């Protein structure tokens, strides 16, 4: 009865590989959304519905909306409009639609089955929000702080890499 876990893991791996290998940012974002949803499904299957819900709300929801807005803001003019029309064909949407359909089938099957059965859940107990909070802020406090510092450093680096000097736009033209 482990086939839903392995199928969801396969969807996550294939989608993540497509994110890295895709040169078109819009297609990479679509594959990233599918990958994040598959990871949320994995959390649900292993008995951590709270982590799965956070994955959908925080990453597949908020972070992906931010990425889509950044891609939209990078519009470089009329030349990119024709290129985007060429990129956004039905074949570009076929892969993410197929993978999302597979994720939906697995989640419907898991939710309709006897979910609390020990053969379905890999762990021995369900992990709730209280247990997650206690683990993060007691046992793993140092790791949480290190992750926060890495995120801050990457934000500062992205700001400085993307910053343009005044008058740099005139030099490019």
The per-residue pLDDT for range 69-120, each reduced to its tens digit, is 777 666 555 666 676 676 667 777 777 788 888 888 877 777 777 655 444 4
What average pLDDT does the chain have?
77
Between 165 and 134, name the one with better pLDDT: 134
Q: Tell me, what's the pLDDT at 14?
A: 92
Q: Tell me, what's the pLDDT at 12?
A: 92
**To 10 degrees, what angle do helices 25-45 and 3-21 make?**
160
Asked if residue 107 lies in contact with residue 49, where contact means CB atoms within 8 angstroms, the answer is no
Residue 130 has pLDDT above 80, yes or no: yes
Q: Tell me, what's the pLDDT at 117?
A: 47
pTM comes to 0.59
Asked if residue 2 lies in contact with residue 10, where contact means CB atoms within 8 angstroms, the answer is no
Dist CA 18 CA 49 (whole Å): 26
List the CATH code of the domain at 1-103: 1.20.120.1200
In the predicted model, what is the mean pLDDT of residues 153-158?
Answer: 82
């Amino acid at each position: 009865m482990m086939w839903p876990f392995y199928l969801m893991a396969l969807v996550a791996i294939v989608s993540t590989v497509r994110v890295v290998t895709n040169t078109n940012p819009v297609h990479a974002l679509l594959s990233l959304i599918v990958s994040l949803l598959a990871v949320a499904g994995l959390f649900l299957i292993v008995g951590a519905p709270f982590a799965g819900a956070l994955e959908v709300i925080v990453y597949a929801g908020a972070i992906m909306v931010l990425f889509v807005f950044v891609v939209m803001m990078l519009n470089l003019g009329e030349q990119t409009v024709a290129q985007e029309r060429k990129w956004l064909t039905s074949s570009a949407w076929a892969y993410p639609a197929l993978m999302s359909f597979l994720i939906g089938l697995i989640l419907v099957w898991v939710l309709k089955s006897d979910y609390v059965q020990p053969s379905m859940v890999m762990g021995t107990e369900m992990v709730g929000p209280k247990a997650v909070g206690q683990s993060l802020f007691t046992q793993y406090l140092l790791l949480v702080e290190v992750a926060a510092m890495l995120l801050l450093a990457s934000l500062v680096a992205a700001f400085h890499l993307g910053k343009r000097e005044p008058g740099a736009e005139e030099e490019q033209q």
